[in-house]
Structure 1
Amino acid sequence: MSQQAFWLQQALAAELQPPSPPLQGEQQADVCIVGGGFTGLWTAILTQQAQPHWRIVVLEKDLCGSGASGRNGGCMLTWSTKYLSLCQLYGAEEAGRLVAASEQTVFDIDRFCRQHGIDAGIRLGGAVYAASSAAQAGTLDGVLAALDKVGSNRWQPLDAATTVALGGSAALQHGVFSPAAGSLQPALLVRGLLRVARAMGVRVYEHSAMTTLQEGEQVRVHTAQGCVQARQAVMALNAAMPRRFGQLADSVVLVSSDMVITEPVPALIQQLGLARGQAVCDLRTFVHYWRSTPDGRLMLGKGGNHIAWANRLHGYFDQASAYRGQLQAAIARFFPALAGVPLAQSWTGASDRSATGLPFFGVLPGYRRVFYGMGYSGNGVVQCHLGGQLLSSLLLGLDNAWTRSPLAQGPLAQFPPEPLRWPGAMLVRQAIRSVESAQDAGRQPAWLATRLAALASMAGKADR
């Protein structure tokens, strides 16, 4: 049985705005955006700000915030720890620009929310990355040294006591801290963006799933009860993209991220040192990530649990987590003081993990005036705002750093096709689990498992 994730339940309970109706009949528009999550709404808002007289329509198949945008962990993380990968893929100049842009965007999102009265629970408490086993120590040394070399390193090394104090767990060591990060309630942000977009004149229709997409002299987007005819369109469907558009089927792998959240225990959260809202990640491939909420809960998640055959967005991704017990055990391991605290809910969501670990954008293959963005790889709270800037620039026909970026050239790498992709991904996943289990126990991992696990490095860490 499907369920609304915890964040969306909270957001809807606090909401005062009237519901967005489903699309009925035919609408004329300058731009039609399919997908009412972070990417679609940021694109709509930024485009409407630049062209106030444009008619912009957003179609959402369910409720805005019901997908990945409203069910992720809410950690505001940047591309700074991916600097070496960015350099390899895009060159040093573009890598530096993207790191700086992602760090600035943390503060831009906060400023936008304050300007428009969006209470998304934002706390700019920074981010802590730390080792949760001896084998993880030194994981970030190379990238931080490279950032130091170009004068762009905002990360500060932490001594043992400060690592524990900021990370909230005595299981952590060798930590680093950046102030350019934080956390928020993601569904409150999505619903706030919905309110702002509607106030600007964007027409948003929920419960309006796209049935067909056609392109002739104009783009026609059909739903069960209506149609939008537009000059241009954007597909911002996140994990639904690869199954909907077979041209992109091998560009991503759908991987679950599973989360649990405790009942409120503000006194314990304060004692753990997590009350400032910092985002915390360990340094394994399938990371543990956690943060507190303003009302004193602990949210903990872990990526890389379920992998979808042929990228089918089936019911698993819309249910309580099958890994609730393992996540509860992780809370007990990292935070013994919270071991007896009841869980309020568990949930899961689909992450469209690209072969590079970075998103990609461009003109949808086979079309001329339909753009798309996808592949955030579990690190989209901040990056979707950057994606909105890029897609808006494409819609506006601008010649700027975003439209010239290699990010706008589509996927730079592919996964093997099915039936090879799923068994290969499962083999690598099991190898990663074997290696990390051995490392957690202080044992030497098996040689073959180590070699197979290394294949995941091309897609980077399972960031939040």
Structure 2
Amino acid sequence: MMYRGFWYAEALERESALSPTLQGTVEADVCIIGGGYLGLWSAIRLKKANPKMNIVIIEQDRCGAGASGRNGGFVNNWWTKYLSLVEICGETEARRICEAADSAIDEMGEFCREHHIDAQFRKDGLLWGASNKRQLDAWLDLTTELEKYNVNPFKILSGEEIRRRSGSPRFLAGVFDPNAATIQPAFLARGLRRVAIELGVTIYEKTPMTKLERSELPIVYTEKGQIVAKKVVVAMNAWGAQFPELRRMIMVMSSDMVATAPAKDHLDAIGFSAGECVMDSRTVLNYWRNTPEGRVVFGKPLGQFAFGGKIGNLYERPSPAAKGVEAEMRSFYPQLADVPVVSSWTGPLDRAMKGLPNFGHLGGHKNIIFGIGFSGNGVGTTVFASRIIKSLVEEANDQWAHCGLVEQKMKLLPPEPFRYIGAHWVRDALVRKESLEDLDRDADFLTNILVSLAPAGYAPKKK
């Protein structure tokens, strides 16, 4: 049984429309594999620029049924990734990319208003805090560097202020970024699907790809048909790991979520009534938000890794880590002890070593384009990323086709079984170390060695 938590259930209660499955042979200018955010935004951007372009999307389930419809609903920018971007492509390009990703948040809000998508878009900013003494000033390397270029969006908050705004007594200090938002992710995904169809994009749901033939004109095979396309876009998120060229760029892992029953009066009473994204400063991140009806939705990546990138039905059930995630939530909100958790779910994300995606041509094939590695931060940034996909499809000689994230030399993860075994060791070491830090205690030597192998956190430290 497929299970995606209450986000997607709410979306299907609103509209259960299902596009037909593909049958027979279809020709297209562009075939996009994947009906999530990257595929939908790319189709919409391409179609608006080229109304006569024949664009087809195939989706193995329903549009948004993957990570796009079951994430935490954070619409963040990439200023926290600035130090990693500088390592990849230098200061000038890093700033340009961050500014583009920053602008995508307002672009999403305007798009929802223009197209009457009720995605519960609330631009109330991001609270990023320290929940123990070891996390104090976790943002300092980043903000110091951003200050040099007068682009630092983060405002220092006192412990009293972040406790007041988050409603959590655990925070000691923090910073605030006003340019962040929250959305109901499945509502957004289904809204994008509707707009794409209205623009003339053809969508086939319940149509998984069975094979991609890398001929001069690529052919996408499905169970009952095929698409012959001038260009193919692989926009499959974690499912892109089935391609050997992409597999070692990412680790397929879960993030796990719980949601409480609606308790708006409780949240109003503790001051957690606005729509901020909230998180602490761990690498195994605690992140959460409230909803307009007064739920707390809390996430943490405590769940499962996919061996060899093979997903299957691994993430189609209530979260196996729900008790651990709930325990973390209750440590931040002891005042909500009488508010029950009513739903849990999990979903795959495509975790890259630096937490940033890569774009390019699959195996060097000029007519097959990919984007992968959003690392759980793709809700807002896929809006910007669709500009890159559009330029690569159009073979444009412009700033996005030559963006610093295109054909980058990524640090690859180890082959299996070392990747799978190592991922467990490193993640467990991180959890152990960060649990000790809550007690203001140091981890042992071996734990620290394993932690040093971890991918970049939400905001990597300057080397």
Band of TM-score, shorter chain: over 0.9
* Conservation of the 8 A alpha-carbon contact between 1:251 and 1:411: no
- Read off the aligned partner of 1:209 and give its amino acid letter: P
The answer to which of 372-381 and 399-408 deviates more is 399-408
Mapping of residues 7-18 of structure 1, within 5 Å: 7-15=7-15, 18=17
Q: Secondary structure at the match of 1:455?
A: coil
Structure 1 residue 272: Cα displacement? 2.9
1:260 and 2:250 are equivalent in the alignment? no
The Cα offsets for residues 412-438 of structure 1, whole Å up to 9 and x where unpaired, read as 110111121122222211211111111
Q: Is residue 428–residue 455 contact of structure 1 (8 Å, CA) maintained in 2?
A: yes
Distance in 2 separating the partners of 1:462 and 1:329: 25
Aligned to 2:458: 461
Q: What letter corresponds to residue 223 of structure 1 in structure 2? A: T
Distance 2:453 2:167 in 1: 31
Supply the RMSD in Å over aligned alpha carbons. 1.5
Q: Which amino acid aligns with 2:456?
A: A
Q: Which piece of structure 1 moves more, 445-454 or 190-199?
A: 445-454
Tell whether 2:349 aligns with 1:375: no
Is the 8 Å Cα contact of residues 4 and 318 (structure 2) preserved in structure 1? no
The range that moved more, 56-65 or 79-88, is: 79-88
Alpha-carbon distance change, 167 to 447 in structure 1, aligned in 2, over 3 angstroms: farther
Report which stretch shifted further, 378-387 or 186-195: 378-387
Deviation of the 1:290 alpha carbon: 0.4
- Aligned residue identity for 1:275: S
Give yes or no for contact 1:287–1:462 (8 Å, CA) kept in 2.
Answer: no
The answer to which of 57-66 and 248-257 deviates more is 248-257
Picking from 399, 402, 405, the partner of 1:401 is: 399
Task: Quote the residue 2:151 is aligned against.
Answer: 152
| 1:302-451 alignment, distance < 5 Å | 302-365=300-363, 367-410=365-408, 412-451=410-449
> Retained in 2: the 8 A contact 1:377–1:462?
no
With normalisation by structure 2, the TM-score equals 0.96
Cα separation, 2, equivalents of 1:447 and 1:280: 31
Shift in Å, 1:451: 2.7
Contact preservation (8 Å) 2:302, 2:321: no
Matched, 1:4 2:4: yes
Length, aligned pairs only: 460
Rounded to whole Å, the distance in 1 between the matches of 2:374 and 2:171 is: 27
Residue 314 of structure 1 and its aligned partner are, at CA, apart by: 3.5
Q: How does 1:123-142 map to 2 (within 5 A)?
A: 123-142=122-141
Distance 1:20 1:410, change over 3 A: farther
CA drift at 1:89? 1.4
- Whether the aligned pair in 1 keeps the contact of 2:128 and 2:278 (CA below 8 Å) is yes
Which deviates more from structure 2 when the two are superposed, residues 4-13 or residues 187-196? 4-13
Name the counterpart of 1:299.
Answer: 297
* Contact 2:69–2:189 under 8 Å retained in 1: yes
Instruction: Give the equivalent residue in structure 2 for 1:75.
Output: 74
* Equivalent-residue separation in structure 1 for 2:211 and 2:422 (angstroms): 32
> What is the rounded CA distance, in whole Å, between the counterparts of 2:162 and 2:341 in structure 1?
26
- Distance apart, 1:66 and its partner CA: 0.7
Distance 1:316 1:173 in 2: 37
1:92-171 superposed matches below 5 A: 92-171=91-170
C-alpha separation in 1, matches of 2:122 and 2:277:
10
**Cα distance in 2 between the residues matched to 1:215 and 1:421:** 28
SS at match of 1:218: coil
Contact 1:255 1:304 in 2 (8 A): no
Corresponding letter in the other structure for 2:169: A
Identify the range of structure 1 (70-79 vs 336-345) with the bigger mean alpha-carbon deviation: 336-345
> Aligned-pair distance for 1:317?
1.3
2:211 aligns to what SS in structure 1? strand
Counterpart Cα distance in 2 of 1:250 and 1:459: 16
Q: CA deviation at 1:265?
A: 0.5
Please list, as runs of the form range in 1=range in 2, the aligned pairs for 1:216-235 lying within 5 A after superposition.
Answer: 216-235=215-234
What residue in structure 2 maps to residue 238 of structure 1? 237
Q: Is the 8 A contact 1:25 1:226 kept in 2?
A: yes
1:383-408 superposed Cα distances (whole Å, 9 cap, x missing partner): 11122111011112222221111211
**2:405 counterpart SS class:** helix
Task: State the percentage of identical aligned residues.
Answer: 39
Q: Does the alignment pair 1:89 with 2:88?
A: yes
CA contact (8 A) 2:139 2:459 kept: no
| 1:411 to partner: Cα distance | 5.1
Is the partner of 1:130 in helix, strand or coil? strand
Kindly indicate whether the alpha-carbon contact (under 8 Å) linking 2:303 and 2:320 is maintained by their aligned counterparts in 1. Answer: no
Report matched runs for 1:175-186 at 5 Å.
175-186=174-185
Q: Is the 8 A contact 1:83 1:143 kept in 2?
A: yes
TM-aligned CA deviation for residue 168 of structure 1: 2.3
Query: Using the alignment, how far apart are the partners of 2:4 and 2:442 within structure 1?
Result: 41
Instruction: Show the 5 A alignment for 1:255-294.
Output: 255-294=253-292
1:304 CA displacement: 4.5
SS of the residue 1:317 aligns to = coil
Partner amino acid, structure 2, of 1:105: A
Q: 1:304 to 1:363 in 2, by over 3 A?
A: farther
Query: Hey, what's the Cα distance between the residues in 2 that align with 1:317 and 1:380?
Result: 19
Any conservation in 2 of the 1:286–1:462 contact (CA below 8 Å)?
Answer: no
After TM superposition, give the deviation of residue 410 of structure 1 in Å.
4.6
Work out whether residues 88 and 408 of structure 2, in 8 Å CA contact, stay in contact via their aligned partners in 1: no
CA deviations on 1:114-158 (whole Å, 9 max, x unpaired) are 011001011001001001111111111010011111010111000
SS class of match (1:119):
coil
Cα deviation, residue 448, structure 1: 2.4
* Cα pair distance change 1:30/1:163, threshold 3 Å: same
What residue identity is the alignment partner of 2:22?
L
Once residues 272 and 83 of structure 1 are traced to their aligned partners in structure 2, the CA distance between those partners, rounded to angstroms, is 34
